[in-house]
Structure 1
């Protein structure tokens, strides 16, 4: 097979650089995948900025959709030509306490796609077959890519929030626009919180069925059962605590967050709970891909070429996109210089 192209992070702070590499061979239990789309996640920015430790150099990207090109030894359940998705959790040991107790998302020696394992900002990627998902036919490659992290982590966060009927979502981007649709389909009332003055984002939230949309420093018209923080801003935690009722839950969905400022104990009292969500499990993926089809969730994404990954990342950093950003590798000839 001919070579591959990738956008590689060589040092903390970036930028990513376009590099040519040999196409890797899949090892025991692995798939070689031709990437057809890869979502751009805020976690990628945390890796670039050094807020999440990564192996360097690394090819980022963990919202991967592609076609199986080759099977490593021992792989079952897949064949060449299958369309698959690769998420953030790319490997778990299978034998530590957490793996044995059904909490593989907390594995002591995990592998993370685009962080400790090369990811999908590339024309090809190798992935552990045990952590790949079949993609529903309902979605194109571009539409499916945001489901692999924004959707999966959002789903785990929604489950952690409990069965409350009134749910607040802080930061209405890639994850929130997916989970809002599921929550509305479930019959919940969704309250969207955006950065101040983001009328476009608020209108977008209302168009997806949200009952209310406003700035993150505003109080909604009613007390909430739970709030999910997709924005990685620690100062939002005390604000969210003040709008959930007694016994309410505040779920921090990001892998990284700025420091949480001090707040009065009275804001937490009344058996309110602050909890974090870490990674995902394969069970999350199985249940999520069932429900997105039932709820007929639609994703909204802006497409960029692979070579324009740095532009896409800066658009995500600035919050200048409605929905998600997705990289499309294109044809090999696109990378000839």
Structure 2
């Protein structure tokens, strides 16, 4: 039977919490006192300890993903379960968990029945409400939630909940048609990309990393890239093509390079989200039979696997730990390209 406790008791009698609210797109972030959400029968209430900042948060902040302000962003949260709904099984109060921002799935559509709950048309996204990864408490759906291995700290686990699972899923997609021990190009080695290099290295791939920032290229080498190339200084004749190229940057030139860097009959794994339409030479794709294969984050099973693999291979994203009241500074820094790795925000410092 599910364990149920009371929010007020877990919060020392308080019934409100602080939430970092985007008041308008590209505007200030305001700390507001709002009611602690109440879980329904099939939800968990999680007291957050750490949450990291992602480029998807930046896209939502700028209004590119359709979220309406006011909204609390953040979708890489780690915390402790403080309340479980009466219908929840598999989780109990005190579990250290992480979760993706999808709730309210129908469990009856084609996507849900194939364990692809994040594609359910009836789901609710946490990034559309006033409590998200940058609030003190958040609601989680058990079908989007996993337990965090004890060997991984909250700070290091947070980036794995989006950057990690996305990177893992990208390399898993590579592995479906390309064996380990073979060369692999990865374009864009920032917050997601440097973790992708680590997972690719763990799976045996020989990685060449591309980026326009030298500090990110140095980071890629630290995580196992055999070669690290500044694509701003690269001539087309110098490109060594691989059977698969993973494009994690959302910049249009990154996708153009991705197509050039891929062999005949190869695949471009599309991870980065451009802010506008891309233009491809379709004749070139057809004549060389190059495929564009998009991936969207990963399933709950992928998240669990990526965390276990991180624990086994000691994959640790590069992080800088910040106070939650410094969040707006992080948004500004990331928009300027000044963040290497991931900035993780704590709720207890």
Deviation at 1:91, TM superposition (A): 4.5
Matches within 5 A, 1:43-54: 43-54=56-67
1:185-242: per-residue Cα shift (whole Å, max 9, x none)? 22111111111xx222111111111011112343566321211122111332221111
> Is 1:288 the equivalent of 2:306?
yes
Q: Summarize the alignment of residues 246-325 of structure 1 with structure 2, pairs less than 5 Å apart.
A: 246-263=264-281, 265-267=283-285, 269-325=287-343
Selected match of 1:175 from 150, 172, 192: 192
The alpha-carbon distance between structure 1 residues 205 and 260, as it changes in their structure 2 partners (threshold 3 A), is same
Where does residue 227 of structure 1 map in the other structure?
A: 245
SS in 1 for 2:302: helix
Measure the CA separation in 2 of the matches of 1:306 and 1:287.
Answer: 29
**Map of 1:214 onto structure 2:** 229
2:4 aligns to what?
none
Q: Which residue number in structure 1 is paired with residue 105 of structure 2?
A: 92
Of 280-289 and 206-215, more deviation after overlay is shown by 280-289
Q: TM-score, normalised by structure 1?
A: 0.91
Structure 1 pair 273–5 and aligned structure 2 pair: CA distance change class (3 A): same
Measured in 2, the distance between the counterparts of 1:103 and 1:71 equals 23
How far apart, in 2, do the equivalents of 1:255 and 1:105 lie? 17
Which stretch of structure 1 is more off in the superposition, 253-262 or 235-244? 253-262
- State which drifts further: 4-13 or 112-121: 112-121
Cα distance in 2 for residues equivalent to 1:99 and 1:109: 10
Q: Contact 1:254/1:277 (CA < 8 Å) preserved in 2?
A: no
Once residues 171 and 90 of structure 1 are traced to their aligned partners in structure 2, the CA distance between those partners, rounded to angstroms, is 30
Is the alpha carbon distance of 1:169 and 1:257 closer, same or farther for their aligned partners in structure 2, counting shifts above 3 Å?
farther
2:145 maps to 1:145? no
1 CA distance for matches of 2:111 and 2:89? Answer: 25
How many angstroms does 1:142 deviate by? 0.7
Residue 40 of structure 1 deviates from its aligned partner by 0.4
Residue 258 of structure 1 and its aligned partner are, at CA, apart by: 2.9
Q: Which runs of 5+ in 1 are unaligned?
A: 332-337
Q: How many residues align?
A: 329
State how 1:76-155 maps to structure 2 within 5 Å.
76-115=89-128, 118-155=131-168
Contact persistence 1:94–1:104 (CA under 8 A) = yes
Q: After TM superposition, give the deviation of residue 319 of structure 1 in Å.
A: 2.0
1:320–1:284 Cα change, 3 Å? same
Q: CA RMSD in A?
A: 2.0
1:120 Cα deviation from its structure 2 partner? 1.2
User: Post-superposition shift, 1:294?
Assistant: 2.3
CA contact (8 A) 1:61 1:120 kept: yes
What stretches of structure 2 of length at least 5 have no aligned partner? 1-7, 9-13
- Residues 151 and 101 of structure 1: CA distance in aligned 2, closer, same or farther (over 3 Å): same
Q: Which moved more, 1:60-69 or 1:107-116?
A: 107-116
- The aligned residue for residue 208 of structure 2 is 191
